[in-house]
A and B are shown apart, each in its own frame.
Chain A
């Protein structure tokens, strides 16, 4: 286990109370790992992932991928248009989303990793997690 475990799990009365954001309704905190080889062959090239979900348009994207109010320091404005599936696939495998800085790219890919069922782009994200050639 890593050192972070101490931080995340405060022993009662020892650590000072840590701030815990419960997040807005509609954000998500869970990503499930899917098999890399048992996927149905969904179309990767044609699907798109909006960042963020149109339901939360206007939010900024923080470094860890969570959505925060626009103008939050250290967070990034959303990109103007949705990303194509193949661009996201490259980014998830360590590449870069088109037109992003390193930090920006990390924030957006973290957002995409956190996509959950019911959010726009989730099915596309799921179909991207396919074996590589």
Chain B
């Protein structure tokens, strides 16, 4: 390397070619670990580097991260099981999304992955029944703010978040994978119809739909926060299952462009590389905006993507109203 890498590429290269980390000096290791923690990928890195002859201090730290991820997996699967038990009486299976789905099905993308909330997908016409079943099983509303609540119910693709009163864990109940205000409307019924059972009452999306969801979440919804991790998911899913039929499925959901971009960017970061267009480079600049202390960098690029994420989600007049309400409420959003 001509000059030391000082952004998210340090992490991307370590994941792509673990053996190269053996050339790192102590400062390089410190930067890699801080970056991986900030991107919530320390568990992923720890599994990826397992067995390498890294310095002892690093080996200990990575062993801790693996133990922590293993415990996170237990807790995530138990939340899924709790939701299954709560929803069994109303006959709605739990369709797991994102991290919990990966660990439930033992996918490569789930190895060491940090998992926050439990995300599930349910049929839109059963959402009231699901809400009632969860509340009777001990989940409670998180947000008392009436604007937020109203906003969720009218415009979002999910219920306002619920938290379990004894276990302190959140559940996000989705009825589709993009906000209703977004300009793209994926086939939510099709997602459910093509889902596959991993055990009785517990299902995950089909492999192509998991990729479509990851891409939708990254490029048609969010501001790319957590993007390095999401693209690692994409890389692992493609590596494990290939892309057979993916383009057709993505087109069916109206997300062909987003899926194609996810494939290019994940290959650029973690795989064999890809032919990138100018916009792709801008995305990568945002995705890797992280320094060796784990700090967010490139504030203007981040701000641009933050505004874009809202633009995608809402019609302009609504966006103005939303940002105004948020601003008045003192929420500035996590843009820097």
Residues of A that sit less than 8 Å from B by CB: 32, 34-35, 38-40, 117, 123, 126
Contact = CB atoms under 8 A, between A and B. Distances in A.
Contacts of A34: 166, 168
Contacts of B165: 117, 123, 126
B217 to A, nearest CB: 25
A40 B166 contact: no
Contacts of A126: 165-166
B138 A35 contact: no
Contacts of B166: 32, 34, 117, 126
A40 B138 contact: no
B235 to A, nearest CB: 31
8 contacts: A34-B166, A34-B168, A35-B168, A38-B168, A117-B138, A117-B166, A126-B165, A126-B166
A123 B21 CA distance: 49
Chain B contact patch, size range: under 10
Nearest to B163: A40
Contacts of A38: 168
**Most chain A CB inside 10 Å of its own CB: which residue of B138, B163, B166:** B166
A40 B163 CA distance: 10
A40 B166 CA distance: 11
Nearest to B167: A34
Nearest to B138: A117
A117 B138 CA distance: 9
A32 to B, nearest CB: 7
Closest 10 CB pairs of A and B: A38-B168, A117-B166, A32-B166, A35-B168, A39-B168, A40-B168, A126-B166, A117-B138, A123-B165, A40-B163
Interface string B161-172: 001011010000
Interface string B147-171: 0000000000000000101101000
